[in-house]
Amino acid sequence: MPRAEDRGMRAVRLLGAAVFLLFAALVAWLAPIEPGVLQLQFAFTPRAFGAVMHFWSPQDLARYRAHLPWDFLLLGLYAAFGWLFARRSPLFSRHAPAARTAAAWLLPAAAAFDAAENVLHLWLTAAPRFGVGPIYALSALSAAAKWALLIAFSIAVLRALARR
């Protein structure tokens, strides 16, 4: 019979595989869109956002909007993965409780910003929006926070690996 620790890590491995597969599928789905999605994510002004949208065909826009429900699934998966990985992985077992808790919250926090970004992008790409400049900035700030937290989690994992 598998140990409880092994069973706990099985869920982490399954979530990790699901995150990887869904992320790879979304990257492939969005690859034909030029300029790329990252440029839209970091469009802090209506002008910058509009410049990206101007180059997209109606099919590109439809492709982008079609990926968003899947991206909501992805952010739920990576939030759960990050939480469980930091809590159950032996990699973080020697960390102080506060450090382990901080690491556990990085991906759920990134997912919250990702969800905000997605909601704003659904609204901003549904129709031309005028007079809402701060919403474009909020969307880009949400994306920036998401990426910063994803990078912070990666650094936490690399540091934990280096300390082994």
User: What amino acid occupies position 158?
Assistant: L
**Rounded to 5°, angle at Cα 52 from 152 and 108:** 25
Q: Which two tokens stand for residue 130?
A: 């005028």
Query: What is the full per-residue pLDDT of the chain (164 aa) written as tens digits?
Result: 456 567 779 999 999 999 999 999 999 999 999 999 999 999 999 999 999 999 999 999 999 999 999 999 999 999 999 999 999 999 998 889 999 999 999 999 999 999 999 999 999 999 988 899 999 999 999 999 999 999 999 999 999 999 87
DSSP state of 95: S
Per DSSP, 96 falls in state -
**What is the rounded distance in angstroms from the CA atom of residue 82 to the CA atom of residue 72?**
16
The residues, any chain, with a CB within 8 Å of residue 116's CB and separated by 6 or more, are 138, 139, 142
* pLDDT at 4 (0 to 100): 57
pTM of the model: 0.93
CA pair distance 17, 35, nearest whole angstrom:
29
- The pLDDT of residue 164 is 79
Please tell me whether residue 128 adopts helix, strand or coil conformation: coil
String of DSSP letters for 60-120: HHHHHHHHHHHHHHHHHHHHHHHHHHHHH-GGGTTS-HHHHHHHHHHHHHHHHHHHHHHHH
- CA 112 – CA 89 distance, rounded (Å): 23
Give the residue among 124, 147, 150 at the shortest CA–CA distance from 64: 124
- The sign one gets for the Cα dihedral 58, 20, 121, 123 is positive
Tens-digit pLDDT profile for residues 54-100: 999 999 999 999 999 999 999 999 999 999 999 999 999 888 999 99
Q: Which residue in the block uniquely carries the two structure tokens 């997605």?
A: 118
Yes or no: say if 127 and 51 are a contact pair by the CB < 8 Å rule: no
